[in-house]
Amino acid sequence: MELNEKVIRDKSNKLKKPKRKLFRQHAHDNPLLKNFNHYKPKLNESVELDLFFNKPLIDDKITVIDVGCGYGAFLVKLSQLFPKKLCLGLEIRSKVYQYTKLLVESHKSNDMCHNIGVCRTNVMLHISNMFQKNQLEHIFILYPDPHFKACKRRMRIISDCMVAEYAYLLKKGGLIYNVTDVEEYHEYAKTVFSRNKLFDRMDQEMKEYKEIFHIIKYATDESQKLNKRSTKPTRFGLIYRRI
């Protein structure tokens, strides 16, 4: 089925929320492959805002990103959490990206969520070319693929190399958030961040973090799937501040 056949409009010709069953895909794409079509910014060239945002906004730079934004439930929440900031979801999987793009467009068609956009790209290859040094204020990495097999560990979106990239892109005082339902991955992420001296771990129970942390634990598509699988799902979270 072509993408335009998946677009649903109401009687007033406004876009409606797409049907997720039309956009099913494997759990992940291989981020080490370089031969698929995705957004590839040129070196030292900022993201072209008009590709993702269709209305003039206060901010002229993207300052909030959702790495591996999936089907976009949390991306929509970001619009409410940061109404005056530009927020961009980054997703590698083609069909998942197509769904989220239509989801975002359906909200904008109803005059909502004008400050969010979604981009199909390979974060591991291109994130350092998409944003400038110290540009970002918030990075969300929620329920990433744990890549359990030893031979696939280098595909993890949290690694020594990637954490160094995040440190470069975050402004001083900027925050990076990680949530997972896999305890082994949680301990691994703590170890990786502890090796980078540009990050301080924050207490998620502190007043200024408690509300947003509750949202990031429970507002994503993966979190909703967890609730369906278990009556008492376990979630592990981390917040780090850029020094």
In the annotated binding site for S-adenosyl-L-methionine, the residues are 68, 91-92, 122-123, 142, 220-222
Q: Are 112 and 78 in contact (CB under 8 A)?
A: no
130: left (phi > 0), else alpha (psi -120 to 50), else beta? alpha
Q: Which residue has the tokens 């494997």?
A: 26
Handedness of CA 53, 58, 61, 63 (dihedral sign): negative
The enclosing H or E element of 169 equals: helix 160-169
Of 234, 221, 38, residue with least CA distance to 142: 221
Q: Which residue has the tokens 């502890």?
A: 194
Catalytic residue set: 145
Q: For residue 183, give the 3-state DSSP assignment.
A: helix
CA distances from 79 to 8, 21, 101, 191 (A): 22, 24, 14, 31
Q: Are 113 and 79 in contact (CB under 8 A)?
A: yes
Q: Measured in Å, how far apart are the chain's first and last C-alpha atoms?
A: 48
Of 183, 155, 219, 174, residue with least CA distance to 65: 174
Find how far residue 238's CA is from the centre of its chain.
15
